[in-house]
Amino acid sequence: MGNAKSGAISKEILEDLKLSTKFSEQELTQWYDSFRKQCPDGRISRPEFEKIYARFFPESDAQSYAQHVFRSFDTNADGTLDFKEYIIALHLTSSGKTALKLEWAFSLFDVDRNGYISKAEVREICTAIFKLIPKDEVELLPEDENTPEKRADKLWNFFKKGENDKLLEGEFIQGVSDNDDALRLIQYEPVKKK
């Protein structure tokens, strides 16, 4: 990963990230300095990422979801996130562009990275998402979403796919874009208490 040993971000990586994200040179340099303080070797391991992620969901079991998020960000599949992967992930998840977020969501659901999503993969991710939901919120969910299986079935039905069908990236993005309920089901948002 660039100039990890020297302590400064390489010009090549800086220019690449300026072109592929919404971040300025100053922001990237600040992010890099912070990243290097947290990760002196220039990489975040999956266990480290899981610990960081768990802090965002202290009342939940975030480990399985964090593993999937980490896998989707680890684009070179080396078991670590370098600064570039980290910033691209930050950009994708914080960008206002729905299409970018949905491309990332597809990679999250494509557990085996084969280019399509199966119902089993939807069930796996819905199970991980469900573990993020605090127990007191589960009872507030609609009847047809109050288990991971029901949530996965409801989401899969939006795409009008059979049990053994496959869902391609374009179909996923279009289907979620066309339906706010599907968009809600692919993520965890705290349930609003009445």
Question: Given this model, what pLDDT does residue 96 score?
Answer: 61
Kindly list the distances between the CA atom of residue 127 and the CA atoms of 16, 133, 174, in Å, as whole numbers in the listed order: 36, 10, 23
Residue 181 has pLDDT above 60, yes or no: yes
Q: Is residue 5 part of a domain?
A: no
Quickly state the pLDDT bin for 191 (edges 50, 70, 90): low
Residue 188 has pLDDT above 90, yes or no: no
Q: SS3 helix, strand, coil % of the chain, rounded to 5?
A: 60, 5, 35
Residue where one domain finishes, among candidates 67, 94, 121: 94
Domain carrying residue 120: 98-185
- What region does 95 belong to: left with phi over 0, alpha with psi -120 to 50, or beta? beta
Lowest mean pLDDT among 12-16, 94-98, 140-144: 94-98
Same domain assignment for residues 74 and 113: no
Q: Is residue 193 part of a domain?
A: no
Question: Given this model, what pLDDT does residue 167 score?
Answer: 97
DSSP 3-state assignment of 75?
Answer: coil
Q: Is residue 4 part of a domain?
A: no
> Nearest 5°: CA angle at 105, between 100 and 111?
140
Q: Is residue 63 part of a domain?
A: yes
Model pLDDT for residues 92-132, shown as the tens digit of each residue = 877 767 888 899 999 999 999 999 999 999 999 999 999 98
In the chain, how many domains are there? 2
Q: Facing residues of 167 across strands?
A: 117
